[in-house]
Amino acid sequence: MDDKTARLVEILKNSNNIVFFGGAGVSTASGIPDFRSSNGLWNQKLNKQFSPEELVSHTMYMRYPEEFFEFYKDKLIYPEAKPNAAHIALAKLEEMGKLKAVVTQNIDGLHQSAGSKVVFELHGSVLRNYCESCHAFYDEKFVLASEGIPTCEKCGGRVKPDVVLYEEGLDNDIIEGAVNAIVNADTLIIGGTSLVVYPAAGLIRYFTGRNLVLINKSATSADKNADLAINDDIAKVLGEAVEALK
């Protein structure tokens, strides 16, 4: 174990109200790439190249639903993905009574699959989908199995993923819960995010606790403000650190 991971172990030992704030890098080891790394989609019919951000925007969903769902099903749903060492370590920290909440920008549901109970999903989840007309619930398997635009089996309405698209606002209750958790934390661990997606990334300004820890493969703009910054694989670092607590 290197010195920085050993320092993280000490911080975890001496903390009783930890909050974890995570992004796309947390799920990389589970085989889920950041959708923004995609080249987007060249559409012959529209004779236009769409960026990944455009493809998961509210405008795209409303104007070009076929293209939206083509990209969404191909790039955002990974039914075979399993929790990795980072997800499992965080669930163990919660079980120990040290971690009070996970705040995630991810939409894959892997924190809950690993056993985490208190999870604030800022951008929703691909595992939940609802008919826009009658609000009937559908899982991700239904969406994946549907041809083209998924439609409700009960009323024929369009089925929309419970995911916050670009141009849509975040859920106020989720934001309030996440802010409250961060405000009360003695340690905030930020992992697997470059902190460039707002408004989610702005939530860290509410932290006034003792230890700000950043774990990300590449440096971030917040590294200089951290008590501990580790530029390494988050699954490895968290896995090692939590294992050392036992």
Q: Which residues are catalytic?
A: 123
Structural contact between residues 170 and 200, judged by C-beta atoms closer than 8 angstroms: yes
85-95 vs 234-245: helix crossing angle, rounded to 10: 30
Structural contact between residues 103 and 19, judged by C-beta atoms closer than 8 angstroms: yes
Q: 10 Å Cβ neighbour count for 63?
A: 11
Classify strands 48-50 and 41-43 as parallel, antiparallel or unpaired: antiparallel
Distance (Å, whole) CA 118 – CA 63: 36
Distance (Å, whole) CA 246 – CA 244: 6
Distance (Å, whole) CA 176 – CA 162: 18
Cα angle 107-112-116, degrees, rounded to a multiple of 5: 125
Which residue is listed with tokens 């403000």? Answer: 225
User: H or E element: which one contains 22?
Assistant: strand 18-22
